[in-house]
Structure 1
Amino acid sequence: MASITQRASAVETHGPKVNIVIWLLMALSAVFLGLRVFCKLATHRRLWWDDHILIVGWTLQLAAVSLITVNITLGFGRHVIDIDPANISQIALISNVVTTLSMLAAVLTKTSFGLTLLRISDGYMKLFIWVAICIMNIAMGLGALFQWVQCTPARKVWDFSVPGTCWDQNAMTAYAIFAAAISGAMDATLSLLPWKII
């Protein structure tokens, strides 16, 4: 009995820890984004497409982090047996929204960096960057879409009590790994391109 109580109390600490970490990271990213915007405006330069897209991506991530905090208040971070059963489907729904927002935020911030690189590149390099931007957006966009269309009826995605059918979870996992690999490869590629340009 004591071990069960210890496990439950240990699990309950995950939510607050997650909250602290995600908000610290959001604050850090806000500092960098704020400095970028400040430097541009302070030097009387206008914000360009890459800046606006980066701001939209950051805003989507802010929404995702806010929803994670809402989920934590509902019991997210605890073992499933410690969560109020009435909150399970709501946590699942919010988690899907968070996943979608996070994927869109990630691809928009990468797209923003790609657009920045477009301004200082030419020829085949510019074409390569456009291809990379398109591949990233298609892969991540499909991943975000699949979150919502994988079950019939759609409500079954977040409400497991609803009768219906869903796609093979192995296929969904495989696509998620594929999209993450594409995203990581594009991260590495786009981060190395400035060396080539310089």
Structure 2
Amino acid sequence: METEQAPSSLPILGIQLLSIGWTGCAIGTIVFGMRIYVNFAMTRKWDAAFWFSLATYITCLAATITMNFAAEYGLGNHVGDLQASSRESALKYRWFFSGTAIFAIGLGKLAIISYLIIIQGDTLKVKPFRKWFMYFLAYTNLFVCVGITPLLWKQCQPTAKLWDESLEGHCFGRRRYQIFAYFWSSYEAALDIVLSLYPITIFWSLQLSIHIKIGLVFLFATGLL
């Protein structure tokens, strides 16, 4: 019997996915490499923000690799143009990408929150409400990211039915996952806005020239993009 093979060439959308993903990985590698150099050569501090950043980098890399596998099996191509085994493999790696990306996004938020806690220093003792606000953001982010993970993998019984519809079983959990996914994505987007604008409240009262303050505002506001 002839063995089905993955598509020999990537579709246009697959190439676009890989281009965006690996470009982001390349930029992240450069930036995080600079962070490692600063930690080794200058600060010599290995705080929680660094370890959360490292975990974020690793999970982002893992997510990009799984998306690479999905694209190689035809993700981005018309489903009718794919062989059955290629379609199943593309969908399987697509779901693995989703599961990995959820952790990458959550860990990235924790890295930012940890960094904000560090730079505020003793201010958190004088203004404890800031500390509790940071903790609130961290724990709610952790809750929604951990909470959505089992819903993703429990959409179908057995789990493999997510990418292989021919299997016996059911997928009663799809709607439940869809609803929570809307909430999760909305909350994470709102958290991006908060974490982009919150630093303004930290440095605006510092003794800096107005043009430096405005520059910092625009720098942190780029997180909104």
Letter of the 1:142 counterpart: G
| Superposition pairs of residues 5-44 of structure 1, within 5 angstroms | 12-44=11-43
Counterpart of 1:130 in structure 2 is 135
Aligned partners of 1:159, 1:125: CA distance in 2, in Å?
A: 48
Is 1:189 paired with 2:188?
no
Q: Residue 114 of structure 1: CA displacement?
A: 0.6
Preserved contact between residue 13 and residue 76 of structure 2 (Cα < 8 Å): yes
Preserved contact between residue 99 and residue 144 of structure 1 (Cα < 8 Å): no
Preserved contact between residue 49 and residue 112 of structure 2 (Cα < 8 Å): yes
Structure 1 window deviating more from structure 2 (62-71 vs 86-95): it is 86-95
Aligned partners of 1:153, 1:17: CA distance in 2, in Å?
A: 32
Preserved contact between residue 102 and residue 145 of structure 2 (Cα < 8 Å): yes
Counterpart of 1:116 in structure 2 is 115
What is the number of equivalent residue pairs in this alignment? 188
CA pair 169-154 structure 1, distance change in 2 beyond 3 A: closer
Structure 1 window deviating more from structure 2 (83-92 vs 167-176): it is 167-176
Q: Residue 155 of structure 1: CA displacement?
A: 2.2
Structure 1 unaligned spans of 5+: 1-10
Counterpart of 2:213 in structure 1 is none
Counterpart of 1:57 in structure 2 is 56
Structure 1 window deviating more from structure 2 (98-107 vs 85-94): it is 85-94
Give the CA RMSD over aligned residues.
Answer: 1.6
Aligned partners of 2:176, 2:156: CA distance in 1, in Å?
A: 13
Taking only the aligned residue pairs, the percentage that are identical comes to 21
Counterpart of 2:221 in structure 1 is none
Structure whose CA Rg is larger: 2
Which of structures 1 and 2 has the larger relative contact order (alpha carbons within 8 angstroms, sep 6+)? 1
Is 1:70 paired with 2:75?
no
Q: Residue 168 of structure 1: CA displacement?
A: 5.1
Aligned partners of 2:60, 2:32: CA distance in 1, in Å?
A: 13
Aligned partners of 2:161, 2:171: CA distance in 1, in Å?
A: 8
Is 1:172 paired with 2:186?
no
Q: Residue 43 of structure 1: CA displacement?
A: 0.9
Which secondary structure does the structure 1 equivalent of 2:112 belong to?
A: helix
Aligned partners of 2:88, 2:177: CA distance in 1, in Å?
A: 20
Letter of the 1:75 counterpart: G
Aligned partners of 1:84, 1:164: CA distance in 2, in Å?
A: 22
Q: Residue 37 of structure 1: CA displacement?
A: 1.9
Counterpart of 2:223 in structure 1 is none
Where in structure 1 do 4 or more consecutive aligned residues deviate above 4 Å? none
Is 1:156 paired with 2:155?
no
Which string of whole-angstrom CA distances, capped at 9 and with x for unpartnered residues, describes residues 103-129 of structure 1?
100100110111111121511111111
Is 1:141 paired with 2:146?
yes
Preserved contact between residue 156 and residue 173 of structure 2 (Cα < 8 Å): no
Structure ranking higher in helix proportion? 1
Preserved contact between residue 76 and residue 83 of structure 1 (Cα < 8 Å): no
Letter of the 1:73 counterpart: E
